[in-house]
Structure 1
């Protein structure tokens, strides 16, 4: 078994349920568009007709909720190890180091740690991710690629600390330039006693006038609400499309390596994890994540990292 460079991909198979809801999304989008037109025509009427979409939407609602529940119901167990965790990394002060072989050994030891009540039990599949670096900015960049799609809390904290340490290494050599004192600054008119009294006197009257200015017809408010909902849906669809296009162009990086482990007990997974050619001690700053669960539960992350 070998380690493979990771290219972040859109998990097409694991998110196939989203395509199955295309008809429901089209139905909802069409209804939002027609709602605004219907409300415009109801300005002079006292009653409204919700239309036949309510009954038709019940099946789409049930399918959508069931698909989301199935996607989240079989989440694998996750173990993350970073150089900055207590008792893990080597070094003094803020500078902490953890080479790739030591990282693998720490991940393997946790598989058979009987003191951890959350340790996986039984025959399971496993997916191991290694984030390799020789500098803190490298580690931060590798973690940022993964955290953008799967923000594991420990990895997010490690990314932030690596970013701060890289910034510290750069900025500690810069000598700040202090300008000549004193400096220009805006006049604090908000502290003026006259303006304070005027604002307090006018605040209540302005609030009453704003209430009259905001008075509008209920049908107009409903039409505006339907327009905002349609705009929000278009914005969400645009963000999802942009994310998929970005992942289509992602290139494989040797700084993130992944490996699937054959199913077995925790002891067997430990032996499999330590077998084979692994990254060496030249990668002095490393972090890792080990996901253990069913084959279905791991399918989402496995497809996302291109395995």
Structure 2
């Protein structure tokens, strides 16, 4: 067997199917001109008549928008404390710890931190959330359940870091096995200049013909639009029903604790937050969030956490 010299040329056999597009392309050009003429002839000869749904739904739309604005329009002030923040957790290196009482002291102390210009200082309520754990995987699991419903950037980062640390603790004892080199891999055709340009050109011609293949009558388009709107309404209703069913009948989660205090100013909220019997130091790996706002602004989150 001999080695043949390489000659770069256009793949005629592989792209011979492109010749089958010429007839359809010529027909598409003529149809485009004819369609433009028919649309110009319809100018001034057709009218539209809006249905009665818009006027009937106007009152419900106004009331719904107002209720949604009152319920979700006010964003409460949010403070998140995690063991991985600088100056908060105890420990060395990646191993950081924060017990539940110390977490509560950090949250309450930030209420009267005059150096923080963003702290709330009016008569408001405070909703405190504690995430209790003794291991990194337990903390990550608890935060994952909460972040699936109400993600906060700091809590999402804490969940990700706790998950990585837990994975590191379990995988650092595993000895990896490496196969022999070299290894099989896919040919990166997308990096080839000729292949990229040819693919774009052929895909563009196919897209033009696909636009004509998808052509239909205006009545068919209106019927399809009505069907899509009905299916969309059913999908939205089902989505809300599924969400309610997911949150219905939930069991108490002992790894999450919540408390609502107020109304009061920052000093009064701090005093009320430190009252009572908080979780003890046996919970050595904890994170927390403090939401401060009006009672109406906190109502959605308060009901979400079962208060």
Pairwise CA RMSD of aligned residues?
2.6
Contact 2:261–2:272 (8 Å) recurs in 1:
yes
The DSSP-based 3-state class of the residue aligned with 2:300 is helix
TM-score, normalized by length of structure 1? 0.76
The structure-2 alpha-carbon separation of the partners of 1:102 and 1:203, relative to structure 1 and needing over 3 Å to count, comes to: closer
Instruction: State the structure with more CA Rg.
Output: 2
Aligned positions of 1:177-256 closer than 5 A: 177-185=177-185, 199=199, 202-203=202-203, 205-256=205-256
Is 1:57 paired with 2:84? Answer: no
Give the secondary structure class of the aligned counterpart of 2:130: strand
Distance apart, 1:203 and its partner CA: 4.6
- 1:110 corresponds in structure 2 to 110
* Matches of 1:197 and 1:291, distance apart in 2: 54
In the TM superposition, residue 100 of structure 1 has moved relative to its aligned partner by 0.8
**Equivalent position SS for 2:58:** helix
Aligned to 1:271: 271
Stretch deviating more after TM superposition (69-78 or 183-192): 183-192
Deviation at 1:192, TM superposition (A): 8.4
Render the CA deviation track for 1:3-50: whole Å, top value 9, x for unaligned: xxxxxxxxxxxxxxxxxxxxxxxxxxxxxxxxxxxxxxxxxx954432
Question: How far does residue 129 in structure 1 lie from its aligned partner after superposition?
Answer: 1.0
Q: What's the offset of the Cα at 1:196?
A: 6.9
- Equivalent-residue separation in structure 2 for 1:189 and 1:264 (angstroms): 65
CA distance in 2, matches of 1:204, 1:103: 59
Where in structure 1 are there 5+ consecutive unaligned residues?
1-44
Please tell me whether the aligned partners of residues 261 and 273 of structure 2 are also in contact (alpha carbons under 8 angstroms).
yes
**What residue number does 1:28 align with?**
none
Q: Which residue of 2 aligns with 1:157?
A: 157
User: How far is 1:66 from its partner?
Assistant: 0.8
Aligned: 1:92 with 2:92: yes
Distance in 2, Cα, partners of 1:203 & 1:247: 46
- Counterparts of 2:265 and 2:190 in 1: how far apart (Å)? 69
| Structure 1 stretch displaced more, 221-230 or 117-126 | 221-230
The CA deviation at 1:185 is 4.3
Structure 1 residue aligned with 2:79 = 79
Matched with 2:68 is 68
Contact 2:71–2:296 under 8 Å retained in 1? no
What is the match of residue 121 of structure 1?
Answer: 121
2 CA distance for matches of 1:123 and 1:190? 61
Shift of 1:210: 2.6
SS of residue matched to 1:101: helix
Q: Number of matched residues?
A: 263
Pick which of 219-228 and 199-208 moved more.
Answer: 199-208
Q: Which gives a bigger RCO, structure 1 or 2 (Cα 8 Å, sep 6+)?
A: 1
SS at match of 2:255: strand
User: Mean Cα displacement is larger for which, 75-84 or 178-187?
Assistant: 178-187
Secondary structure at the counterpart of residue 297 of structure 1: coil
Structure 1 residues 285 and 64: CA distance shift in structure 2, 3 A:
same
Distance 2:195 2:48 in 1: 50
